[in-house]
Structure 1
């Protein structure tokens, strides 16, 4: 039953279908990754006078390789950080338990028991409704209510435990000396609708999908970043409609059609605000509500004249290693998913300090 609610608990991004990795090729040296380095001119396949070179192969798989390497480095950092947190938290609890003359497990239960309360009926129903809205085929609410309650209690336990550990660490003035994670930089063209000054020290290029719920969720974080950092940040929005979001392509075209009439960001906000209604009729209605020239907008949308523009944006994302939405490149460093404000703050502050 845990899998029924995985989309709510574990996901932070709308993911593209996984691509099948290409086969390896003959090597001349070995990289630090353990994978063979490919000589671009070396043939990797031949038939009837036709040759495929390692360069041909590399051109195809390089974006995916870049994405996989970035994910590996991020997961490695998270593993180390989680391990460090576990050691620090365990030692802090042991110190407190020893002072109280209790075993650590008993001490922790005593400290946290009063803070755990069962979820309300409204909280249970909200999780059920969210799972249904996300497309999950669920039985009647009464049948899965116990599983939802267990799921929420586990989440509450984690939240209470985190707050307690945070207090212990603050009281003990714990200083973490592990260097923060910084993704590798990727060249991404900052081309598209933007907010903020051209010469800002921080450029955020966002690849997003109007039908993706996580992209909508990330909008609040993006606005917080812009509000907090002001002229120090420039945001560039680029379209990345996913193939399984059947209305995302036209929605992206609609925003670009609105841009022709100087109302890109108004349409942008409106589309995220009506994610459940993105069919062509709804897009045209939105244009009317924004007081656009209806005839010009309808012609632009119906003709598909912005489709190429959207496709070019998506291709740029693919080449940069984007595999899901939202994806943010902060001065070329990838942050993938609807991440919290703190994830942006860490990188931005580090970049500003280095300027």
Structure 2
């Protein structure tokens, strides 16, 4: 036994070391994918971004009830502020939601085929989320779940793209994108959904649903503190 360490403290030290190594391996295990070729996430509305734009990052799981409940007020707030707010949604498929990873992969597939269909599909997952809870697919094989979700996802794209959605699950790039999103969440210290960052900082109550008034109370003071927006340093995303 190491000097000065009790057996219990030694065990805790070893557990901490193992946890650190596991996290490090998760972030570096696929060197070819990190960093990715572009910033992770789905941009809610494409518009010009300048130094005064308020950036919201939302970490959501398409099969998470709290993510589902958090989306309408967040969307309402972002629509209210328009170009003053830039929203990026990062997917974090939680391991205890059996179908979260396949659903997240479907979102990446649809996004590659038609970016305008990404958020409609996310909202469709939220609307019919009960279909994908653990108990509902308990007796289905993994292949059956993939086929079920692939067919579900084709509702938001043209019928001509159905075969592309189905074959997208055989494309390693869609798997890689979904893995990168998970690793990105881990790199930011996010382990639950929904989690929100505003201008790079985690909200203190980001693991709970924020209503529309709550978002207004967060964003209004930030806009007021800026005064007149500057026109310099404008970038297009």
Q: TM range, normalised to the smaller chain?
A: 0.5 to 0.7
Deviation at 1:190, TM superposition (A): 5.6
Question: Secondary structure of the residue that 2:80 maps to in structure 1?
Answer: helix
**What count of residue pairs does the alignment treat as equivalent?**
178
Is 1:234–2:100 an aligned residue pair? no
Is 1:267–2:121 an aligned residue pair? yes
Deviations 1:270-308 (A, max 9, x none): 111221224323322223322251111101124453122
Is 1:350–2:221 an aligned residue pair? yes
CA spacing shift, 1:267–1:23, aligned 2, 3 Å: same
Is 1:252–2:123 an aligned residue pair? no
- Contact in 1 for aligned 2:169/2:175 (Cα 8 Å): no
Deviation at 1:326, TM superposition (A): 0.6
Deviation at 1:195, TM superposition (A): 2.0
Could you tell me which residue of structure 1 aligns to residue 212 of structure 2? 341
Cα distance between partner residues in 2 of 1:216 and 1:206 = 12
- Contact in 2 for aligned 1:253/1:304 (Cα 8 Å): no
- Contact in 2 for aligned 1:267/1:286 (Cα 8 Å): no
- Contact in 1 for aligned 2:154/2:165 (Cα 8 Å): no
Could you tell me which residue of structure 2 aligns to residue 288 of structure 1? 154
Is 1:318–2:186 an aligned residue pair? yes
Cα distance between partner residues in 2 of 1:210 and 1:237 = 11
Deviations 1:314-348 (A, max 9, x none): 22212212121011111112231212223322221
Q: Where do 5+ consecutive residues of structure 1 fail to align?
A: 1-20, 25-44, 46-51, 61-188
- TM, length-normalised to structure 2: 0.66
- Contact in 1 for aligned 2:48/2:83 (Cα 8 Å): no
Could you tell me which residue of structure 1 aligns to residue 43 of structure 2? 194
Matches within 5 A, 1:1-355: 23=13, 191-196=40-45, 197-199=47-49, 201-262=53-114, 263-278=117-132, 279-290=145-156, 291-292=158-159, 293-335=161-203, 336=206, 337-355=208-226
Structure of higher RCO (CA pairs closer than 8 Å, 6+ residues apart): 2
CA spacing shift, 1:276–1:230, aligned 2, 3 Å: same
Q: CA RMSD in A?
A: 2.8
- Contact in 1 for aligned 2:57/2:90 (Cα 8 Å): yes
Cα distance between partner residues in 2 of 1:209 and 1:198 = 27
Question: Secondary structure of the residue that 1:234 maps to in structure 2?
Answer: strand
Q: Of the two, which has the highest radius of gyration?
A: 1
Cα distance between partner residues in 2 of 1:330 and 1:320 = 13
